[in-house]
């Protein structure tokens, strides 16, 4: 727990139970709950996407997500953070990642939620293989860790 | 010294295995290990083809980071979670 912020991270093959996470994230001291849900889109780069298969360096990915959440909790006044990221093969429409943040006020909740998904996409060791009607390929979108090398 | 090398995503597919052992001489760095692996597996990309990020014991490090016996190392392609 960082300065009064509880952090919950779920990671793996299991489906995302958004009702359970929403129940977790609510807090009587929070006036705002903000969420981001990343879903599998049916198109990318003018190709029809059939599925995405996620793979991770799991121990490091957990530690990196925890570090991202702790950084958010030091930058903004947050009450709770919940992050769940799925692995394995997902179909179009499936939820790949859910991020929920509760805070006393909406602005900090919005900013923290955007920060967390941006950092996850940038540096957490998770990859997705895209399968389309033209074949499959690994996607490489991340910008890497901060220049400090942490 | 003996290092445990892990591979993920496209590098795992290029090598054809999720992990392997690598023997390096004392004083070797992450850059030395990567060069040894590229010699062993010519299909591994050079850094001009695909950015590669060195990782030592689950932490991003620089290419000049020295290695120790028993270390777990990996070389990551740009991530794409979310």
Q: How far is CA B24 from the centre of its chain?
A: 12
Task: Report the candidate in A4, A65, A39, A148 with the shortest Cα–Cα distance to residue B79.
Answer: A65
Query: What order do you get walking across the sheet with B59-60 strand by strand?
Result: B19-23, B2-6, B72-76, B53-56, B59-60
User: Is B18 part of the contact surface with chain A (CB cutoff 8 Å)?
Assistant: no
Residue A150, pLDDT > 50, answer no
Length of chain B (residues): 82
Q: Residue A52 is encoded by which pair of tokens? A: 């995405």
Q: What is the mean pLDDT of chain B?
A: 96
- Hey, which bits of chain B come out as E strands? 2-6, 19-23, 53-56, 59-60, 72-76
Range list of H helices, B3-81: 9-15, 30-40
Task: Quote ipTM for the complex.
Answer: 0.95
Q: Chain A residues within 8 A (CB-CB) of chain B?
A: 38, 54-57, 59-61, 63, 85, 96-97, 117, 120-129, 138-145, 149-150
> Are the beta carbons of A13 and A90 closer than 8 angstroms?
no
Q: What single-letter DSSP state applies at residue B78?
A: P
CA gap A22, A110 in Å, rounded: 16
Q: Answer whether B60 sits within 8 Å of A57, measured CB to CB.
A: no
Q: Write out pLDDT tens, residues B28-43.
A: 999 999 999 999 999 9
Beta carbon pairs, A and B, within 8 Å: 86
For an interface test with B, give the residue of A145, A147, A148 to mutate (most B CBs within 10 A). A145
Between helices A106-123 and A58-75, what is the axis angle to 10°? 150
User: Considering the entire predicted model, what is its pTM?
Assistant: 0.93
pLDDT at A144: 75
Q: Write out pLDDT tens, residues A90-121.
A: 999 999 999 999 999 999 999 999 999 999 99
């Amino acid at each position: 727990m960082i300065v009064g912020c509880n952090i919950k991270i779920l990671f793996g093959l299991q489906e995302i139970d958004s009702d359970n996470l929403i129940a977790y994230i609510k807090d009587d001291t929070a006036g705002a709950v903000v969420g981001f849900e990343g879903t599998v889109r049916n198109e990318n780069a003018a190709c029809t996407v059939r599925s995405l298969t996620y793979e991770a360096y799991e121990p490091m990915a957990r530690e990196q997500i925890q570090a991202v959440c702790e950084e958010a909790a030091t930058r903004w006044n947050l009450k709770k953070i919940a992050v769940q990221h799925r692995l394995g093969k997902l179909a179009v429409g499936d939820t790949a990642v859910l991020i929920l943040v509760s805070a006393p006020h909406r602005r900090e909740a919005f900013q923290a939620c955007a920060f967390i998904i941006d950092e996850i996409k940038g540096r957490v060791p998770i990859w997705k293989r895209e399968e389309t009607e033209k074949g499959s390929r690994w996607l490489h979108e991340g910008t890497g860790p901060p220049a400090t090398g942490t | 010294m003996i290092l445990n090398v892990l591979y993920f995503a496209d590098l795992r597919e290029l090598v054809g295995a999720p992990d392997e052992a690598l023997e390096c001489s004392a004083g070797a760095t992450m850059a030395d290990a990567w060069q040894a692996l590229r010699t062993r597996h010519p299909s591994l990309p050079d850094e001009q083809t695909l950015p590669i990020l060195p990782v030592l014991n689950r932490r991003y490090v620089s290419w000049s980071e020295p290695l120790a016996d028993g270390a777990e190392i990996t070389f990551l392609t740009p991530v794409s979670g979310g």
